[in-house]
């Protein structure tokens, strides 16, 4: 585990898609993120079972939590940009938490130009460092 890990929460959405398609896309992205040698990639779990019941954790479709060294944030964003470029109907929302600092951004290739994306990533990197 990294000494001062960053936590990223990634959320995918599919315009006009169904839950099965969203689940498949999430699994594909998770596999690619794991190849970056991050500390962990976990599904986001929704709620808890009521007291006295034997509930099952329900993972939230299209969401994952990634723990990684801050130095891996730029390669992760490169991967996310490449991934979204290959699947342009899949916007990605990202929340990064390093210590007490939290930064959010959304990348939708149908609405965000490459120049705007570069500016978002630079602002994100600056906010995480500063």
Q: Is 16:108 a contact under the CB 8 Å cutoff?
A: no
Most confident of 20-24, 52-56, 97-101: 20-24
40-46, strands of its sheet edge to edge: 40-46, 58-68, 6-12, 92-98, 101-107
Tell me the CATH number at 118: 3.30.70
Instruction: Please check whether residue 1 lies inside any domain of the structure.
Output: no
What pLDDT is stored for residue 57 in this prediction?
47
Range of the domain at 83: 6-47+59-129
Considering the entire predicted model, what is its pTM? 0.75
Domain total for the chain?
1
Instruction: Please check whether residue 108 lies inside any domain of the structure.
Output: yes
């Amino acid at each position: 585990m990294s000494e001062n890990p960053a936590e990223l929460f990634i959320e995918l959405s599919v315009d006009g898609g169904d839950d099965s398609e969203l689940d498949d896309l999430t699994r594909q992205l998770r596999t690619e993120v794991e190849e970056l040698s991050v500390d962990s990639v976990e599904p986001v779990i929704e709620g808890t079972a009521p007291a006295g019941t034997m509930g099952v954790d329900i993972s939230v479709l299209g969401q994952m939590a990634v723990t990684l060294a801050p130095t891996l944030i730029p390669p992760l964003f490169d991967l996310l940009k490449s991934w979204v470029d290959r699947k342009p109907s899949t916007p990605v929302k990202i929340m990064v938490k390093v210590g007490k600092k939290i930064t959010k951004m959304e990348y939708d290739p149908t609405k965000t130009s490459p120049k705007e994306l570069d500016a978002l990533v630079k602002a994100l990197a600056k906010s995480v460092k500063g």
